């Protein structure tokens, strides 16, 4: 019989401390994830309404009332000073636009920074989504910790807060020390990944899995938990010159992708293509092909129950042994171990 979910008593209070120009999906994505978990917990307990049994969420701002968001919509918030910090289980700070030229810390709301610093002392855990990490850093909560943020703002976060160990790669980071867990996530939709991880920590895998399925998202993203897919990384590095080629490569991983074949698709001589590709992307075509194939195999392992032999053929490895070797080089685990770790069920 599968383990039954545990029910917190009372429901955990998750507070989103938001600033004007809030990036809307930073907040509403996690809010929706917590609500889906609440519905799953209600179903498990046989209740359909009444008081929350798992989570209750509050969006609050310094001034309260109607708050403009970056997307142009407005939301209604409570006043932060109306909340009792002792009731806050999880404090989450979503992001706002942080522009490259805004290096002055006063670009953040000083009142919100002060409130976060004070409220964090009572909260069981603290988290940020996207550029919300700037608020946690300004409140001193990331000093000496690893932290993630939107990839576009990672260098800026490191420059403005040198005591923070910024890692631009992961979808989210959980840094626990001195009995306190601080979570930070990458940009925008990564807030959903973060919320699902918090739900899994609280309520177990089954409840988090139900929430993920209802949201039609991965419970855990494949691909080593990187912010980028290999195709996107290659496209971002190359600019427009090889965009079409990278899309074609991703759709034809099962076929021959030699330098000669890629050069033909790019309408260049093999020698010219190889030189211009390395100059634009920073790695050889063969390395891009290998990385795309491993990532495609990772997706196939997570999203399907296809046997390794079929996945190896579909992704261009030829044999299971080649697939295993590539997986061990890239992820340090065997394909079936990867499937066991990241698969939805």
pLDDT tens per residue across span 289-306: 998 998 889 888 887 889
Q: Is 315 a catalytic residue?
A: no
Smallest Cα–Cα separation from 91: which of 118, 61, 125? Answer: 125
Euclidean distance between CA atoms 343 and 345, whole angstroms: 6
- Cα dihedral angle (232, 235, 239, 240), rounded to 10 degrees? -110
Statement: residue 191 has pLDDT above 50? yes
The strand ranges marked E within 10-148 are 12-17, 55-61, 65-68, 74-79, 90-93, 125-128, 146-147
For residue 190, what are the CA distances in angstroms to 26, 137, 161, 183?
8, 19, 22, 12
Q: What is the mean pLDDT of residues 107-117?
A: 95
Smallest Cα–Cα separation from 211: which of 46, 39, 54? Answer: 39
The secondary structure element, H or E, covering residue 80 is none
Total count of residues recorded for the chain: 345
Radius of gyration of the chain (CA): 22
Starting at the earlier edge strand, list the strands of the sheet with 125-128.
65-68, 74-79, 55-61, 12-17, 90-93, 125-128, 180-185, 172-177
Q: Which of 28, 53, 130, 315 is catalytic?
A: 130
Euclidean distance between CA atoms 296 and 222, whole angstroms: 9
Q: Which long-range contacts (CB under 8 A, 24 or more apart) does 312-315 make?
A: 313/254, 314/253, 314/254, 315/253, 315/254
Domains, the chain, ranges and CATH?
12-215 (3.40.50.880), 230-342 (1.10.10.60)
Query: What integer pLDDT is reported at residue 178 of this predicted model?
Result: 80
Euclidean distance between CA atoms 119 and 142, whole angstroms: 15
How far from chain centre, in Å, is Cα 8?
Answer: 26
Statement: residue 198 has pLDDT above 70? yes
pLDDT tens by residue, 12-37: 999 999 999 999 999 999 999 999 99
pLDDT tens by residue, 238-284: 556 787 888 899 889 999 999 999 999 999 999 999 999 998 888 89
């Amino acid at each position: 019989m599968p383990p039954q979910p545990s029910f917190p008593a009372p429901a955990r209070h998750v507070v989103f401390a938001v600033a004007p120009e809030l990036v809307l999906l930073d907040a509403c994505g996690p809010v929706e994830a917590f609500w889906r978990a609440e519905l799953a917990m209600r179903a498990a307990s046989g209740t359909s309404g009444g008081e929350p049994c798992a989570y209750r969420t509050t969006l609050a701002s310094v001034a309260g009332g109607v708050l403009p968001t970056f997307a142009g919509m407005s939301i209604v918030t409570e006043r932060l000073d109306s909340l009792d910090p002792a009731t806050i289980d999880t404090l989450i700070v979503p992001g706002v636009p942080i522009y490259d030229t805004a290096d002055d810390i006063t670009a953040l709301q000083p009142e919100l920074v002060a409130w976060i610093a004070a409220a964090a002392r009572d909260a069981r855990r603290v988290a940020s989504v996207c550029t919300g990490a700037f608020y946690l850093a300004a409140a001193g909560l990331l000093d000496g910790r690893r932290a993630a943020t939107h990839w576009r703002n990672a260098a800026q976060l490191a420059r403005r807060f040198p005591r923070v160990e910024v890692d631009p790669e992961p979808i989210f980071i959980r840094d626990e020390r001195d009995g306190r867990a601080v979570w930070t996530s990458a940009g925008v939709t990564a807030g959903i990944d973060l919320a699902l991880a918090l739900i899994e920590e609280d309520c177990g895998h089954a409840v988090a899995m139900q929430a993920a399925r209802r949201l039609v998202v991965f419970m855990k993203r494949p691909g080593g938990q990187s912010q980028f897919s290999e195709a996107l990384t290659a496209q971002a590095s190359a600019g427009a010159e090889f965009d079409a080629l990278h899309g074609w490569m991703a759709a034809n991983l099962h076929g021959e992708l030699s330098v000669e074949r890629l050069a033909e698709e790019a309408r260049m001589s093999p020698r010219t293509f190889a030189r211009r590709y390395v100059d634009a992307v920073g790695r050889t075509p063969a390395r891009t092909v290998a990385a795309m194939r491993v990532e495609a195999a990772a997706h196939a392992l997570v999203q399907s129950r296809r046997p390794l032999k079929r996945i190896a053929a579909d992704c261009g490895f030829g044999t299971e042994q080649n697939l295993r070797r590539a997986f061990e080089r890239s992820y340090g685990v065997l394909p079936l171990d990867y499937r066991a770790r990241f698969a939805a069920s």
